């Protein structure tokens, strides 16, 4: 069976635990084949700090920061926060079939967010040497990806209406003193921002940037057996609580 390059399954998942989403992504990617349709998962996470592959030594295992869980992730990048009011878009793509390189993927993700923000009358852009999207020097969207056998997991996080104080406990993306903002803040008091609407606009721009015209609904996590999840992904490692410095 040949899958058209323009086909994309869209899963609107609501609030999903970070660890559950990570396990499902890894299992989905391990099980996918040449005919597997690409997917995008749109969701929010309960409050959680995550550290990418470069942070494994600093984390040492699973701990917390100020009572908020800290989880080691297999994505690229350093430390970040996920939580209510932030849209997370996980892109499960076959780069070879889509004709994309990693740099094209990163630029495309940034462009989709920039275009989405522009719809609210706000100018956003990139910053040299620092992937993501920025408004006036403050980060509004972060990227973190993993590519294995030309297939991607993870994706982007886009701040819509968040608790910005949550970022005060870390150096966002490893940049000390980096300011973080959200769409509600930069759009101004006169702009009404509905997160479900922003999610739909972001999806439209992602589909346009990457050429997906055939959007297929898939409104739950893929059904993967517990045996398959353990075999393909392994269980998250747990150690005694590890408390990193207040700024990591």
Residues 6+ apart with CB under 8 A from 159: 85, 86, 140, 141, 180, 181, 182, 183
142 and 149 Cβ atoms separated by less than 8 Å? no
Residues in the chain: 248
Q: What span, in angstroms and rounded, lies between the C-alpha atoms of 142 and 180?
A: 10
Give me the catalytic one of 173, 184, 191, 233. 173
The answer to whether 71 touches 48, Cβ cutoff 8 Å, is yes
Catalytic site includes residue 151: no
Radius of gyration, CA atoms only, the chain: 17
Catalytic sites, residue numbers: 173
């Amino acid at each position: 069976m040949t899958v058209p390059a323009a086909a994309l399954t869209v899963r609107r998942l609501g609030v999903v635990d970070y660890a559950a989403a990570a396990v499902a992504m890894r299992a989905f990617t391990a099980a996918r084949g040449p005919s597997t349709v690409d997917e995008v998962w749109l969701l929010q996470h309960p409050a959680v700090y995550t550290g990418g592959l470069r942070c494994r030594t600093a984390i040492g295992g699973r701990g917390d920061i100020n009572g908020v869980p800290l989880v080691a992730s297999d994505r690229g990048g350093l430390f970040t926060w996920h939580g209510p009011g932030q849209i997370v878009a996980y892109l499960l793509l076959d780069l070879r079939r889509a004709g994309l390189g990693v740099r094209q993927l990163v630029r495309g993700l940034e462009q989709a967010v920039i275009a989405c923000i522009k719809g609210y009358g706000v100018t956003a852009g990139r910053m040299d040497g620092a992937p993501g999207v920025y408004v006036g020097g403050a980060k509004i969207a972060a990227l973190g990806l993993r590519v294995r056998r030309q297939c991607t997991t993870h994706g982007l996080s886009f701040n819509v209406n968040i608790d910005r104080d949550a970022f005060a406990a870390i150096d966002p993306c490893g940049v000390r003193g980096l300011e973080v903002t959200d769409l509600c803040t930069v759009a101004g008091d006169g702009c009404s921002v509905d997160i479900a609407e922003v999610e739909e606009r972001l999806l439209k721009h992602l589909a346009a940037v990457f050429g997906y015209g055939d959007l297929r609904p898939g409104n739950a996590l893929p059904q993967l057996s517990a045996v398959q999840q353990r075999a393909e992904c392994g269980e998250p490692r747990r150690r005694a609580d590890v408390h990193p410095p207040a700024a990591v």
